[in-house]
Structure 1
Amino acid sequence: MKIEKELLHPSHPQHRLKVEYTETPFCCDGCKEAGIGLKYKCDECEFDLHKACALAPPAITHSFYTKCDFRFHVRPPGAATRVCDACGKEVLGFVYHCARCGFDLHPCCANLPQRLDDGDGHQFHLCLKLSGPACHRCGSKGKGWAYRSTCKNYNLHVSCVKELLVESWEAIYLSRDCKNKMTTITTEVIRTRTIPSLRGTMQNYHRVGSVGKVRRCCQIAISALRIIISAILGDPTAIIAAVVGTMMSK
């Protein structure tokens, strides 16, 4: 995806949008989902777009849905409530929709990498649904797309990672309709507010077993979480990856 320094987007024709990098989480005015890192911003008014939303092509295909022809829409088509088939969250804005099959994808979900590498020798692959061990967050195999480690022992649903972020951020700063901007959130706040939830989730899931085994399993699961959060927020280089990566070192 080529990065343009500035552009004029059809959803905001009043002003040109300029690319910038931010370490402060923001709410995308396109898809209404959280973001961090690279974004396109209007200097004249409070308007932000994920890189994936600002540069979304008019049509895409996806390897999980080989018969689908996904078309870009600035708002959900039709009167019925639409849900992203990747993360299970309601579609409130920009979306890729297949009219023939009825599938929907948030732009950032559609752009999730097929493979992630945590830098410590662990690889995680995006899968349409889980088989084998359940998700470390919810303990089930359902709920849509997930990242699974190469060894198939460590799994996290995309929806579960989003839920962790929403629980931590919305409870303090965000309204559910995403109208309030996340201008006061810092990486320190993200770390202090999310560590108890994440640590407890991982440890409760592995109540049985030796302390060393549980700790190691939690470390690998958190490693997966670190890179998945970065991918979900639209920028694999985002500062949030390093912040989340410190959770199990405390």
Structure 2
Amino acid sequence: MRYNEIPHFSHPQHKLKFEYTEVPFKCDGCKEVGIGSRYKCSICDYDLHMHCALPSSSITHPFYTKCSFQFLPRPPGNIPRYCNACEKDVTGFVYHCKSCGFDLHPCCAKLPMALDDGEVKLYLYRKVGASCHRCGRKGRSWSYRSTCKKYNLHVACVKEMLVESWHEIYFGARNGTRKLETRIPSLRGTLQSYHRRSKGKVQKCCEIAGLALQFVISAVLGDPTTLIAGVVGSLISK
């Protein structure tokens, strides 16, 4: 259920209001990048993903059938921890399985098992034997793979593309220039190189993989219902 205004334990000073944004933001709960739907304190510039603002106290996940993940406001213990879905550091809100020691970012824990717009359909896998379109490696993190099995994107790679230059992305967006856009063409070039052997199919492959990328980016950033076409789509289709 979506509420227009909510209190939150992590920000007791003010209530947070629901809003939608096409500008990237940093979630003050999980410390990860977000876009689309969020809860925000306009007074303190405090932002939360939907999944961080309205977390479940405990969850299960089909990839870890023996685990019970509990929501925690901070990582347990004193050693560095990483998300088992995207391989990135866990520095804020987290779903943690005490018995197995697994950790999931809130947005990673809630990644849809399938993304479908009627043209492109992708399924989430814990491990995929095929090469990723961005890094060319097999295995690694969770991946989204198309039903035709030609398009595969690591969740970790999509996050790297968006997060490794987070300082530029975040502060660039706040200054009115969408630095997020500069991260997308690098993958488009990778897609073209990946399909270089079948020249006649390069353009079509890139177009379809570009659509797949839009869905995966939206899901990774916490809002799988958002295509963020204004930010990503125009660049992918060029």
TM-score normalized by structure 2? 0.93
Question: What percent of counterpart residues are identical?
Answer: 59
The Cα shift of 1:172 comes to: 2.3
- Kept in 2, the 8 Å contact 1:173–1:185? The answer is no
Pair 223,181 (structure 1): closer, same or farther in 2 beyond 3 Å: closer
Matched residue pairs, number? 238
Q: Which runs of 4+ in 1 moved over 3 A?
A: none
Pair 130,242 (structure 1): closer, same or farther in 2 beyond 3 Å: farther
5+ residue gaps, structure 2: none
Matched, 1:150 2:135: no
Partner Cα separation in structure 2 for residue 105 and residue 33 of structure 1: 12
- Kept in 2, the 8 Å contact 1:76–1:95? The answer is yes
Aligned residue number for residue 126 of structure 1: 124
* Partner-residue secondary structure (3-state), 1:9: coil
The Cα shift of 1:160 comes to: 0.5
Matched, 1:201 2:190: yes
* Partner-residue secondary structure (3-state), 2:86: coil
Partner Cα separation in structure 1 for residue 230 and residue 122 of structure 2: 17
Aligned residue number for residue 135 of structure 2: 138
Aligned residue number for residue 227 of structure 1: 215
The Cα shift of 1:171 comes to: 5.8
Aligned residue number for residue 177 of structure 1: none
Matched, 1:190 2:186: no
Map residues 75-86 of structure 1 onto 2, 5 A cutoff: 75-86=74-85
Partner Cα separation in structure 1 for residue 207 and residue 128 of structure 2: 21
Aligned residue number for residue 66 of structure 1: 65
The Cα shift of 1:6 comes to: 1.3
Deviates most, 218-227 or 63-72: 218-227
* Aligned residue identity for 2:103: D
* Aligned residue identity for 1:243: V
The Cα shift of 1:204 comes to: 2.2
The Cα shift of 1:245 comes to: 2.1
* Aligned residue identity for 1:207: R
Aligned residue number for residue 35 of structure 2: 36
The Cα shift of 1:5 comes to: 1.3
The Cα shift of 1:62 comes to: 0.6
The Cα shift of 1:83 comes to: 0.4
* Aligned residue identity for 1:160: C
Matched, 1:12 2:11: yes
The Cα shift of 1:242 comes to: 4.6
5+ residue gaps, structure 1: 175-179
- Listed one character per residue, the Cα deviations across residues 145-199 of structure 1 (whole Å, up to 9, x for unaligned) are 00010111110000111111124x536244xxxxx69523555x433x1343122
Aligned residue number for residue 114 of structure 1: 113
- Listed one character per residue, the Cα deviations across residues 192-222 of structure 1 (whole Å, up to 9, x for unaligned) are x134312212122223222x21222222211
- Kept in 1, the 8 Å contact 2:112–2:224? The answer is no
- Kept in 2, the 8 Å contact 1:227–1:241? The answer is no
TM-score normalized by structure 1? 0.89
